Structure 1
Amino acid sequence: MEVLRSIATNYSRINRYRPLAEEQNWLREVLFAGWIGGGLQEAWQDLLAAVETLASEAGTAHRLIMAHGPDLPQGRPVDEAALLLSEIVAFLESGGSFGLKTKLTRRAWHQLIESCRVDGREPQILDEFRALHARAQLEESRNRFTARWRRTVESLDGPAVESLGRSPERTAQGYAVEIRTRLEWRSAVWEPLIGELRAVGFRWDMWLAAHPPIPGDYGELTRVQRAGSHGLVEIVEAQAALLRQAELSAALQAQRTYLAGFPQSDIASVLLQAQDTWNVDYYEEACREIARLEGLREVYEARNVLLEKLETPAPAWAHAIAKRYKPHDVPLPLGDAAAAWRWRQWLQELERRAAVSMTELQERLDRTEDELRQVAGQIVEQETWAAQRERTGLQEQLSLMGFVKTQAKITKTRRGVRDAELMREARRLLAEARRAVPVWIMPLNRVYESFDPRNTKFDVVIIDEASQSDVTALAALYLGREHVVVGDKEQVTPDAVGQRVDEVQRLIATDLQGIPNGHLYDGQTSIYDLAETAFGGVIALREHFRCVPEIIEFCNHLSYSHSIRPLREPFSASVRPALVAHRVHGFRDERSKINQVEAEEIASLVCACLSDAEYAQNESKRPTSFGVISLLGDEQALLIENLLRQRLSPDVFEKHRLLCGNAAQFQGDERDVVFLSMVDGPPEDGQLFYRDAGPKDLYKKRYNVAVSRARNQLWIVHSLDPEIHLKGGDLRRRLIEHARDPQAILRAMENHSKQTDSVFETMVLQRLLAAGYRVQPQWPVGAYRIDLVVEGQNRRLAVECDGERWHTPEQLHRDLERQAILERLGWVFVRIRGSVFFRTPDAAMATVFSRLNQLGIEPIGANEQYTPNPVQPLVDKIRRAAEKIRQDWNNEQLNEEENSEYGHGKRQTRRSTGNR
């Protein structure tokens, strides 16, 4: 059927050449040549080939002609000029040159050269002769082509040669399309069509025989075209119509058979009746009813799915609903089905649980857990030792013992006479003994001394405290197949003290070409930062076990946007309170980073704690450890250490792990009790300079590390009145205020969170509060309310949170209208989209912080009454003991001064310095 329809559609291809009388004589000849084939067709194909060849030759010659403008001599035959020019070009290409000899032996050449012109002068170089040769060849080829055109086309009353123009190949290419179409008409149009007719059973040969021969040069072609155009299309269309009728009859019968298969269906009976009576309206109405029922299919199938689910737990109920038994024959269940179902579930579950003894279950669970722990420990122990025995032979054991003894002989300075030799021997022994010890823990400098990277590979290399390790730690990664880089980018990072920046940049430019992010490989980028940049995949450990919650809350608020989850019980500490803000009347030395009064105060406080029984042991029954951290430089820490070493023995330092230093020296370490010295003293007038996070968050990281070193108790010893000497948001003020009232941040967040309308607003509020800003939720302005308002000294910023479930487009439109009204009153707005915040909260908040900076709104802290941290009796006792210790020290000084004039002068100077 489709084949016949295609034949009828495409039959117009024949009609394009039916009226031969309308064709030009030379095109009729071309069509006939294509029909007959043989030599006639080949002659025309040769003409087409000549057109293409001449067009190609003209295109090649055109570049040389345009470049040099060659002119051939008038009156000289072109073929003769082409021959001479080809000889000249070959002569020049072989390295020849024109001279007296060539003038004598090649007079014809020189006569031609004198008559040729290139750009209006005689030709001289090889390219100019090539251009003349190309011009001559092209003219010669055009002459040959026009002669052939006269013989082939013009002789058949075709277009004259003169009509082809100066570039006959261009015009001839247009005629070539017509010639090629007629040459290929029989094979491309006629024979495929006759093949299609024969394929569907049409007897073409008999049909052609029914048409009598036609006399004339093109009689046979005219006869074929007449047979194909007179009546053939009508015959094909009639046959297609008969086939279509048969198809429709078969379809109607098949539909009747199909509908007869549903004797109980009313709609099927209606369709059969309408089909038998040819009632179109009745049939259309039945089809609409089928469409309506089909639209209910999803509801029907959903009902069956729900009944299947209900059948398992409640088969009787499902059967009653399926059969529509009363009272389940209504669309909705009687009463609250969900509540009845929940009640039945609860009843069954309670009955099931009541049948089991919880005491027995707990006892079984405890016994099983104990057994699992014991068996797991035994398995690990046995498998570990078995694997160790398999990979450790006698030679490895000997090498290991030799390595240990050799290390003991190396001096601490590593500059002894034999140290270099011993370190080489230790490295050799370690290469042999490495497999004897499954895990090696050592500082990076020992790694580089001990292992040869050429023949040492560990399965896993772990770099701890990576945030304070610079690029030199990269060498350790070469030793491992897999790596774990552990660090905290919020802690102190390398500062490259004493490093020449220009030299480092020169080395980067010279040796790190093509290395991604090569500019980061300087002394100020930690190995943690490099690993995060190169590999990503950061696993954040949010649980915190070291500090009691009051201490770590400051760091959580300062650096981690309250993402840290403190898991240590507040009352697990051996001493309370966790934070003590201790102010002294000290000052900072103008010429150094020293506060003598703070130093003496801290030294006496440490001595007082060491003398008190409550500080003797920590909660693990180990001696309480102490640390002293200077928040400004190293000089203060050195002074405090000197004061303590004058009063304490080395055994006490070792027993209590007493250490004095800066934040970087404590990174990766911890102490039970830590004393912080703020060093800065009050200014002569006004306030101290504002200390924010600092360049590259330097100060923020120092404070984060310093505070988080204390496990049980943190003393902040300061000489400042935060309300008078420090601006709002200053790191020093924030730390002192937190020590005074550790619960202030949590209270503010809890109070404000209760006022916010949504979780979204609460999360934005927490981030703003964590940054130190003063925020008020649900700020009333006349009849309107603003989600959040950030207050500064003289400006305010309105923050709107868009994206809650009830925040529809219509509500957003009303919000924008309200915003426009309030903006006219002077309010400045910034809107946060929930779709952005919940995917990238930092990026969403960056817009808010940027707007706050533009408006000059600084983090000035929460606006609430100051609630002091209650001082425990223990703190009072330590303060009194420290004061007594300082008095004793002063008395000792006075006694020394009375016993020696020289000592008197010296000690007097020292005492007066300490009491300024």
Structure 2
Amino acid sequence: MVIDADLGNHTEIIDFLKRKETTLKQQLDNVLKKLDNAEQDKTKYEEAQTEWYGWSKEYNTSHFEPPELLELMDTTLRYTAFKLATHYWEARWLLEIKEQIETNYAEKQTKEKQEKRWRRYAKLTPCMVATLHMLPSFYSAYNWQAAITERYLPLYDFIDLLIIDEAGQVSPDVAGAVFSLAKKALAVGDVLQIEPVWGINKHVDIANMKKYQVIGTNCTLDIMFDTGLGASSGNVMKIAQRASKYQKTDIHGPFERGMFLSEHRRCVPEIIDYCNRLAYKGRLIPVRESKPDYPLPPLGYAHIRGTSIKMGSSRWNPIEARIIARWISDHQKLLKSLYPDLPLQEIIAIVTPFKKQTNLLRKELLLQGINEHIGIGTVHTLQGAERHIILFSPVYGTNDNGMAYFFDRGVNMLNVAVSRARDSFLVFGNMNIFNSNNTTLPSGLLGQYLFSNESNEITDIEVPHEWI
């Protein structure tokens, strides 16, 4: 313990001890509150368990246990209940519309009529979808008789459940006001994938915090930014995790707070194993099986000795783009034979860190006669998407060996890029930038996976001499 007092000054010693006593009392109060909450949760759990055993005995379902029981309910009771509920609320909507027609009901922007309008819509479509920027304008009313500054009336606490998807990409200042419109909120996302695009820098963020007395001294800055509340570095998912009472634990220790969804159903095990080791401490459980007879490696590469060209903050690599376009053109028949029911654009996509390279790749594909709208973009544009085969164009060429690479700034970028691939993730580029001896870097760890087996190399590419 650091004694922040002059031991020769009796008053300072007494003040120091009083401050410590106050701090310890606050900590004790917090612990007692948490203990009380835990006791309440335990009581609720025991009551629910008693009700569950009584219900299963009454309806003779004791031989079923979750998750088997949940799967059975999804295909029987819940399906029937959902269908009946749908028709019930359709009938309620028809009765309300009938009443409005008979009474010459007029829509207005008052608070009462706006709330009534949204409840009427919810009878047919209970789930509304909107961006965080547009949502406040939807759930609002107006009082034209009030002063100009008081006419806008947000519908506070009106939304029953607000679900924020990709919450790890949402900055706190963008979503903060929206929470006031809802009674409850559910944040879904992954802080280890794409980060938000923050609108202000850290210095402005700190100045705002001090101006509005969010923080007192510099000693609390690190704590504030660790909470995820900073408008220059935070995200909604991290804030939601702090508020959650749920937390898993395993042999590696406690998880981040919240309900961690461990089952991974997109990628074959060989692909997601890289992401598991890179970002998730081995906690993801692959559900899909391997495809031993698949003609392409799960993680493969083609070494291309290209040179990158820098323009502003972006880059492109002409040789890399040409070879990727030619490889796709040469392998169209193979790709379509693997997935005969799918068009090419639903089979394959290209991921690259740089916008300039996406434009160049589109031009090269057209020159190869490929007119299908193959998805090409940065990891930011392909977040949430997936394809059976993902080609990765790193762009950095032989003239960039040894520099700090854009996708090594954190685990997020390569974690997203690799996990877009269901069956095969193929790197087409200068493989010298993937230093498998330095697995502390995302690119180095990927190199270790790529170079782990000679069969991972794609050798059926030709580079015309005039391209070099």
Matched, 1:595 2:306: no
CA spacing shift, 1:502–1:548, aligned 2, 3 Å: same
Find the aligned partners of 1:625 and 1:660 in 2 and give their Cα distance. Answer: 12
Matched, 1:568 2:288: yes
Find the aligned partners of 1:688 and 1:496 in 2 and give their Cα distance. Answer: 29
* Counterpart in the other structure of 1:604: 326
Q: Secondary structure at the match of 1:522?
A: coil
Q: Matches of residues 107-186 of structure 1 in structure 2 within 5 Å?
A: none
CA spacing shift, 1:712–1:371, aligned 2, 3 Å: closer
* Counterpart in the other structure of 2:187: 485
Q: Secondary structure at the match of 1:460?
A: strand
* Counterpart in the other structure of 1:507: 208
Find the aligned partners of 2:386 and 2:124 in 1 and give their Cα distance. Answer: 32
Residue 364 of structure 2 aligns with an amino acid whose one-letter code is: L
Candidates 367, 390, 394, aligned match of 1:678: 394
Residue 557 of structure 1 aligns with an amino acid whose one-letter code is: R
CA RMSD after TM alignment: 4.0
Matched, 1:869 2:451: no
Shift in Å, 1:542? 1.0
Q: Matches of residues 37-76 of structure 1 in structure 2 within 5 Å?
A: none
Residue 455 of structure 2 aligns with an amino acid whose one-letter code is: N
Matched, 1:735 2:446: yes
* Counterpart in the other structure of 2:85: 384
* Counterpart in the other structure of 2:262: 542
Q: Secondary structure at the match of 2:349?
A: strand
Asked whether the 8 Å contact 1:459–1:481 carries over to 2, the reply is yes
Find the aligned partners of 1:594 and 1:465 in 2 and give their Cα distance. Answer: 29
Candidates 707, 718, 728, aligned match of 2:418: 707
**Structure with larger Rg:** 1
* Counterpart in the other structure of 1:663: 379
Find the aligned partners of 2:436 and 2:423 in 1 and give their Cα distance. Answer: 28
Residue 603 of structure 1 aligns with an amino acid whose one-letter code is: A
Please list the CA deviations of residues 3-43 of structure 1 after superposition, one character each: whole Å capped at 9, or x if unmatched.
xxxxxxxxxxxxxxxxxxxxxxxxxxxxxxxxxxxxxxxxx
Asked whether the 8 Å contact 2:164–2:186 carries over to 1, the reply is yes
Q: Matches of residues 300-699 of structure 1 in structure 2 within 5 Å?
A: 375-376=76-77, 378-389=79-90, 391-393=92-94, 432-452=120-140, 453-454=154-155, 457-471=158-172, 472-496=174-198, 499-511=200-212, 513=214, 520-535=229-244, 537=246, 538-571=258-291, 576-591=296-311, 592-609=314-331, 611-615=332-336, 618=339, 621-623=341-343, 624-631=346-353, 633-647=354-368, 652-653=372-373, 658-683=374-399, 688-689=402-403, 698-699=409-410
Find the aligned partners of 1:571 and 1:398 in 2 and give their Cα distance. Answer: 60
Q: Secondary structure at the match of 2:127?
A: coil
CA spacing shift, 1:465–1:396, aligned 2, 3 Å: farther
Find the aligned partners of 1:670 and 1:450 in 2 and give their Cα distance. Answer: 31
Find the aligned partners of 1:622 and 1:441 in 2 and give their Cα distance. Answer: 28
Extract unaligned runs of 5+ from structure 1.
1-367, 400-425, 742-866, 888-910
Find the aligned partners of 1:572 and 1:377 in 2 and give their Cα distance. Answer: 38
Q: Matches of residues 749-768 of structure 1 in structure 2 within 5 Å?
A: none
Shift in Å, 1:491? 1.2
CA spacing shift, 1:373–1:502, aligned 2, 3 Å: closer
Find the aligned partners of 1:370 and 1:534 in 2 and give their Cα distance. Answer: 30
Q: Secondary structure at the match of 1:713?
A: strand
Shift in Å, 1:522? 0.9
CA spacing shift, 1:430–1:606, aligned 2, 3 Å: farther
CA spacing shift, 1:540–1:642, aligned 2, 3 Å: same
Asked whether the 8 Å contact 2:162–2:185 carries over to 1, the reply is yes
Shift in Å, 1:467? 0.6
Find the aligned partners of 2:215 and 2:85 in 1 and give their Cα distance. Answer: 44
Please list the CA deviations of residues 518-559 of structure 1 after superposition, one character each: whole Å capped at 9, or x if unmatched.
653313211111222344531111110000111111111111
Asked whether the 8 Å contact 1:691–1:731 carries over to 2, the reply is no
Residue 193 of structure 2 aligns with an amino acid whose one-letter code is: Q
Q: Structure 1 length normalisation: TM-score?
A: 0.34
Asked whether the 8 Å contact 1:574–1:618 carries over to 2, the reply is no
CA spacing shift, 1:374–1:665, aligned 2, 3 Å: closer
Asked whether the 8 Å contact 1:494–1:526 carries over to 2, the reply is yes
Q: Matches of residues 782-821 of structure 1 in structure 2 within 5 Å?
A: none
Find the aligned partners of 1:627 and 1:711 in 2 and give their Cα distance. Answer: 11
Shift in Å, 1:604? 2.0
Q: Secondary structure at the match of 1:587?
A: coil
Shift in Å, 1:494? 1.5
Name the structure, 1 or 2, with higher relative contact order (CA <8 Å, separation 6+). 2
Find the aligned partners of 2:417 and 2:296 in 1 and give their Cα distance. Answer: 19
Find the aligned partners of 2:320 and 2:289 in 1 and give their Cα distance. Answer: 31
Find the aligned partners of 1:481 and 1:369 in 2 and give their Cα distance. Answer: 27
Asked whether the 8 Å contact 1:508–1:518 carries over to 2, the reply is no
Q: Secondary structure at the match of 1:716?
A: strand
**Greater strand share, structure number:** 2
**Greater helix share, structure number:** 1
Find the aligned partners of 2:291 and 2:99 in 1 and give their Cα distance. Answer: 50
Find the aligned partners of 2:323 and 2:306 in 1 and give their Cα distance. Answer: 10
Shift in Å, 1:376? 2.6
Shift in Å, 1:561? 1.4
Find the aligned partners of 1:713 and 1:382 in 2 and give their Cα distance. Answer: 40
Q: Structure 2 length normalisation: TM-score?
A: 0.64
Shift in Å, 1:464? 1.2
Find the aligned partners of 1:731 and 1:370 in 2 and give their Cα distance. Answer: 38
Shift in Å, 1:612? 1.3
CA spacing shift, 1:523–1:648, aligned 2, 3 Å: farther
Shift in Å, 1:731? 3.0
CA spacing shift, 1:576–1:479, aligned 2, 3 Å: farther
Asked whether the 8 Å contact 2:325–2:365 carries over to 1, the reply is yes
* Counterpart in the other structure of 2:106: none
Find the aligned partners of 2:424 and 2:132 in 1 and give their Cα distance. Answer: 32
CA spacing shift, 1:681–1:870, aligned 2, 3 Å: closer
Find the aligned partners of 1:648 and 1:427 in 2 and give their Cα distance. Answer: 54
Q: Secondary structure at the match of 1:570?
A: coil
CA spacing shift, 1:635–1:691, aligned 2, 3 Å: closer
Shift in Å, 1:560? 1.2
